């Protein structure tokens, strides 16, 4: 790892690289595909045969010549790197050559070597002949030559020149090149670097050339894939050193795919720049002792390759005097982790100080993306997301609808829950600032509704009218919060609060799924007293008593009929266990855990080694749907009466004596309209905290959302929907954390073009409004899908709930730190925060979070759950108090720095800037520093020239 202190004491090579790489680049350099061909002799024929290739990692042709090896990290000998350095010092280096064909390029190289006295003129024809032989790539099968062709050739390179065409290489792209499937692994704008190494019998010293073309040019059959060539490295030498030449070729090929050296190769101005690049590469090389590892072992590519930006930043002129590590996060494994910065949510939560300033900024930010929010949803991945979230939403709607019906004497029930979910969700996904958020009912709202109904019933107040005025007041309060940019308070929600809230909701999902499974079968009784002595026979009816019996008496084997068939045909059941009802608990738990286990397994299938990549990804995307269909089919095959999904079939209110519109006046005293402001304040706090914390979790930087946030706009529409649902007598809705996280996970995108051996890179989330809208539209029409949905067993849907709860815990640092309690130190993962924070301090921080989570869990299980939003605000106070227990350094690694601390850091930085301005007044300007640096580089160049030794 490069440290910041290294920039203070740079080597001459590093000083040169700083001058080369320090300039700003508008366009990044293209990805380089590197191919190494070796000269082979088949009888009397010479040809170039592809032996290895690189995009990021090395792939070599196996000794059998039938297949490519697995991608692996290139292991180079230190000697080959020094030999390569010598070759570049003594060979021909041509930069920005105007080349249009391989023969022209070869002639130019040979001419320069002859002019410099490095090659005898009489070898011109032989060198040219060898370099223009045909190239046989791994995609081609060996060419079988006829007897006539074999008779034409007679040994020696010089005799070849007279018997065959000088230009044996194809000038145009072949069909094999154009149809090569390997192009899928290479970015579209990639360029090629070709390495040609071999031994010939007419040279007494190596022929070396490094060429960079001014423009990337397609050189016919030179490269395996139809990629234009930018670099060319040629090494021909006397016989007897083929292994050494091969190692030098592998060395330059590995250097060309190194991000730092390829940048140097593109920007080098002369030979010395390339040598400085090799010197810097050597400075970072790690040597493995030969007696302590097996060189034959191929090192597997790492799961995550560290970026080269940190290496390049050392040479950036714009970062002179700045520490190398100034940004980053505190999650995951990293060898070159950086110091985290203060917690920031960006400009989305800027306090404008103007009336509705934040709301107008949200609208301005989201409006340009509105068309793309629809057409970007047309993707097969969206189908799997819709099916997954739809099943989660209808299960949630039925569950909360049933509980609301019990709590409010059916003033709100399953029908109201379905209609409210469809209406609120559709409007929110259509117009909100963050359409990836899914709205749903929550536990605290349910408890508030129950307490409100009991209060109304005990005091003779109309529940629906009181609820309407609470909704109106809460809507107005939400508007006031939006108008005053109150969402700014979310800036103080650090990882401590986010993880505590999301962990609590995840644990609620997991526990509720298990509780529902247990409660479903807790009161099921079965007559199993005589199950060990099973006896139940079907007796034929008496023909004299039944006309039906006389018809079937002689045609049916009554002893082989099932119970259902026996009763159907008029027979009678006799036996102790004829009334036995099978216990459905075991079957239900098979469906429950089977759905969860199959979903987890299929979700991980994209990392499997079986089947092509696209098929694996398709199976992974549709894992939940496939698991549900599999166990629905199993349930139908077994035929047991497991509890099924019950969906309303008629569009009418659950309670017959209420309509769809709630009138605001006429049933309660006038003072109720004003007094409802107080309970509305509690509802507003609950809505605000639930909505905004869920939005912060959805908008995490780890999700790489590119269309921005909309905290003020989201809260505005939640307030509008509060009033609308209150007038219609529908439940209130707010962001559902777990379902929203599941929605994001189902829409994550990964790179399709990844280098061999490289793990697909996470690109972001498919941000659009279509999936959410379709989910809630389907929820609304579910009352017409009752004949289909009635076949879905409830245990299967509870398994989906369990999966969503467990999946939402993945990636939470809090959960990883809890597991550290049970791990000995030597088995603990290499988390960056463990490198910088003592383990006892990490455990103490985790313990505080566990205590807070336990308190919240106890509160939500009692009547005090109505105070849940206030307790969430209490987490902010606890986090503020942690500043007195932990140092800012420790908190930077295991949590986030509070915004107030960040302002102090900026103030200190401002003081440093003032000091720099004073220094400028004293005569130490930046221009003079650049001049001194240039003089140093010039002195180092002179020193290198004086110490240079001949090859």
Query: What pLDDT is attached to residue 150?
Result: 42
Do 474 and 687 touch, CB atoms closer than 8 A? Answer: yes
Q: Is pLDDT of 917 > 50? A: no
Where are the CATH 3.40.930.10 domain residues in the chain?
A: 91-139+173-285
Q: Each residue of 545-557: pLDDT tens digit?
A: 555 444 545 566 6
Q: Each residue of 395-454: pLDDT tens digit?
A: 777 777 776 777 787 788 778 888 888 888 899 988 888 888 888 887 677 777 877 888
User: Which whole number is the average pLDDT over 458-487?
Assistant: 85
Output 184 or 598, whichever has higher pLDDT: 598
DSSP state of 240: T
Output 525 or 59, whichever has higher pLDDT: 59
Question: Which of the residue ranges 208-222, 340-354, 917-931 would you say has the lowest mean pLDDT?
Answer: 917-931
In the block, residue with structure tokens 């505080």: 848
Question: Which of the residue ranges 577-591, 596-610, 736-750 would you say has the lowest mean pLDDT?
Answer: 577-591
Query: What pLDDT is attached to residue 749?
Result: 82
| CA dist., res. 103 & res. 167, Å (int) | 7
Q: Each residue of 849-892: pLDDT tens digit?
A: 888 888 888 877 766 666 666 777 778 888 888 888 888 888 88
**Which residues fall within 8 angstroms of residue 108, CB to CB, at 6 or more apart?**
94, 97, 99
| CA dist., res. 535 & res. 574, Å (int) | 8
Q: Is pLDDT of 196 > 90? A: yes
Q: Is pLDDT of 213 > 90? A: yes
User: Which whole number is the average pLDDT over 635-640?
Assistant: 83
Do 153 and 160 touch, CB atoms closer than 8 A? Answer: yes
Q: Is pLDDT of 268 > 80? A: yes
pLDDT interval class at 329 (50, 70, 90)? very low
| CA dist., res. 512 & res. 446, Å (int) | 14
Q: Is pLDDT of 464 > 90? A: no
The CATH class given to the 91-139+173-285 domain equals alpha beta
Query: What pLDDT is attached to residue 2?
Result: 35
Query: What pLDDT is attached to residue 543?
Result: 64
Do 776 and 393 touch, CB atoms closer than 8 A? Answer: yes
Q: Is pLDDT of 939 > 70? A: no
Query: What pLDDT is attached to residue 195?
Result: 94
| CA dist., res. 358 & res. 486, Å (int) | 9
| CA dist., res. 237 & res. 242, Å (int) | 8
Q: Is pLDDT of 28 > 50? A: yes
* pTM of the predicted model as reported, rounded to 2 decimal places: 0.66
pLDDT interval class at 81 (50, 70, 90)? very high
Do 812 and 503 touch, CB atoms closer than 8 A? Answer: yes
Question: Which of the residue ranges 97-101, 528-532, 762-766 would you say has the lowest mean pLDDT?
Answer: 528-532
Do 229 and 217 touch, CB atoms closer than 8 A? Answer: yes
Question: Which of the residue ranges 254-258, 540-544, 552-556 would you say has the lowest mean pLDDT?
Answer: 552-556
pLDDT interval class at 23 (50, 70, 90)? low
What Å distances lie between residue 536 and 367, 435, 540, 552, CA to CA? 71, 59, 13, 20
Q: In sequence order, what DSSP letters do the residues of 710-736 get, joined into one string?
A: -HHHHHHHHHHHHHHHHHHT----EE-
């Amino acid at each position: 790892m490069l440290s910041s202190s290294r920039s203070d004491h740079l080597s001459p090579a590093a000083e040169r690289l700083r001058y080369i790489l320090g300039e700003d680049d508008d366009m990044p350099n293209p990805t380089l595909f590197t191919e190494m061909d070796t000269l082979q002799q088949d009888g009397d024929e010479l040809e170039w045969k592809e032996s290895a290739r690189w995009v990021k990692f090395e792939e070599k042709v196996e000794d059998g010549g039938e297949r490519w090896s697995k991608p692996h990290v290139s292991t180079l000998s230190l000697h080959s790197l020094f030999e390569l350095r010598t070759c570049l010092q003594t060979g021909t280096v041509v930069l920005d050559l105007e080349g249009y064909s391989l023969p022209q390029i070869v002639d130019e190289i040979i001419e320069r070597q002859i002019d410099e006295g490095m090659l005898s003129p009489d070898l011109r024809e032989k060198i040219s002949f060898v370099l223009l032989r045909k190239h046989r790539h791994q995609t081609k099968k060996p060419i079988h030559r006829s007897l006539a062709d074999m008779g034409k050739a007679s040994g020696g390179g010089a005799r070849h020149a007279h018997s065959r065409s000088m230009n044996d290489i194809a000038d145009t792209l072949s069909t094999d090149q154009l149809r090569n499937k390997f192009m899928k692994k290479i970015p579209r704008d990639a360029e090629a670097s070709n390495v040609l190494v071999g031994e010939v019998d007419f040279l007494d010293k190596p022929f070396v050339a490094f060429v960079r073309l001014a423009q990337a040019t397609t050189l016919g059959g030179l490269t395996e894939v139809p990629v234009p060539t930018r670099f060319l490295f040629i090494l021909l030498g006397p016989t007897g050193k083929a292994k050494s030449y091969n190692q030098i070729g592998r060395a330059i090929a590995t250097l060309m795919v190194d991000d730092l050296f390829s940048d140097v190769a593109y920007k080098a101005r002369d030979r010395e720049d390339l040598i400085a690049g090799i010197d810097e590469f050597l400075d970072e090389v790690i040597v493995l002792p030969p007696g302590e590892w097996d060189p034959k072992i191929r090192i597997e590519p790492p799961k995550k390759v560290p970026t080269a930006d940190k290496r390049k930043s050392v040479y950036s002129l714009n970062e002179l005097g700045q520490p190398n590590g100034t940004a980053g996060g505190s999650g995951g494994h990293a060898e070159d982790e950086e110091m985290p910065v203060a917690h920031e949510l960006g400009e989305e939560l800027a306090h404008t100080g103007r009336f509705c300033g934040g709301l107008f900024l949200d609208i301005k930010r989201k409006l340009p993306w509105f068309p793309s929010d629809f057409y970007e949803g047309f993707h097969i991945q969206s189908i799997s997301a819709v099916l997954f979230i739809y099943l989660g939403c209808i299960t949630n709607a039925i569950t909360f609808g049933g509980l609301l019906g019990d709590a409010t004497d059916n003033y709100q029930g399953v029908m109201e829950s379905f209609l409210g979910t469809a209406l609120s969700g559709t409007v929110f996904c259509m117009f909100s600032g963050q359409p990836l958020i899914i709205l749903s009912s929550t536990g605290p709202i349910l408890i508030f509704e129950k307490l409100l109904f009991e209060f109304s019933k005990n005091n003779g107040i109309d529940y629906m009218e009181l609820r309407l005025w609470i909704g109106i007041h809460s809507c107005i309060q939400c508007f006031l919060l939006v108008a005053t940019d109150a969402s700014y308070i979310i800036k103080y929600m650090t990882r401590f609060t986010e993880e505590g809230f999301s962990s609590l909701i995840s644990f609620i999902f997991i526990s509720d799924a298990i509780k529902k499974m247990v409660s479903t079968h807790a009161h099921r009784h079965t007559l199993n007293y005589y199950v060990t002595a099973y006896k139940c026979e079907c007796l034929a009816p008496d023909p004299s008593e039944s006309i039906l019996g006389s018809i079937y008496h002689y045609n049916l084997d009554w002893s082989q009929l099932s119970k259902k068939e026996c009763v159907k045909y008029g027979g009678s059941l006799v036996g102790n266990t004829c009334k036995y009802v099978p216990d459905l608990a075991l079957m239900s738990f098979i469906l429950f855990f089977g759905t969860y286990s199959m979903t987890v397994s299929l979700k991980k299938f994209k990392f499997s080694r079986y089947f092509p990549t696209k098929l694996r990804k398709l199976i992974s995307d549709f894992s939940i749907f496939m698991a549900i269909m599999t166990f629905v089919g199993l349930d139908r095959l077994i035929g047991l009466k497991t509890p099924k999904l019950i969906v309303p079939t008629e569009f009418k209110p659950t309670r017959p004596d209420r309509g769809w519109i709630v009138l605001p006046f006429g049933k309660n005293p006038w003072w109720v309209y004003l007094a409802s402001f107080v309970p509305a304040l509690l509802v507003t706090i609950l809505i605000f905290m639930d909505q905004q914390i869920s939005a912060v979790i959805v908008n995490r930087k780890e999700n790489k959302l590119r269309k921005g946030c909309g905290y003020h706009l989201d809260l505005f529409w939640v307030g509008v929907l509060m009033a609308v649902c209150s007038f219609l007598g529908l439940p209130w809705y707010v962001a559902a954390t777990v379902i929203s996280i599941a929605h994001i996970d189902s829409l994550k995108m990964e790179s399709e073009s990844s280098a061999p051996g490289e793990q697909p890179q996470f690109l972001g989330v498919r941000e659009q409004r279509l999936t959410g809208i379709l989910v809630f539209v389907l929820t609304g029409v579910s009352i017409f899908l009752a004949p289909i949905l009635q076949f879905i067993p409830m245990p299967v849907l509870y398994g989906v709930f369990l999966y969503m709860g467990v999946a939402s815990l993945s990636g939470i640092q809090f959960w990883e730190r809890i597991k550290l309690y049970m791990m000995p130190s030597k088995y603990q993962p290499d988390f960056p925060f463990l490198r910088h924070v003592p383990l006892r301090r990490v455990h103490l921080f985790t313990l505080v979070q566990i205590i807070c989570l336990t308190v919240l869990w106890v509160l939500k299980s009692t009547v005090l759950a109505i105070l849940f939003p206030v307790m969430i605000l209490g987490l902010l106070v606890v986090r503020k108090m942690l500043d007195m227990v932990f140092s800012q350094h420790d908190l930077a690694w295991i949590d986030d720095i509070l915004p107030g601390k960040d302002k102090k850091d900026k103030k200190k930085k401002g003081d440093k800037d003032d000091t720099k301005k004073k220094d400028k007044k004293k005569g130490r300007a930046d221009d003079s520093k650049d001049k001194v640096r240039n003089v140093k580089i010039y002195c180092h160049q002179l020193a290198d020239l004086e110490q240079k030794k001949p090859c």
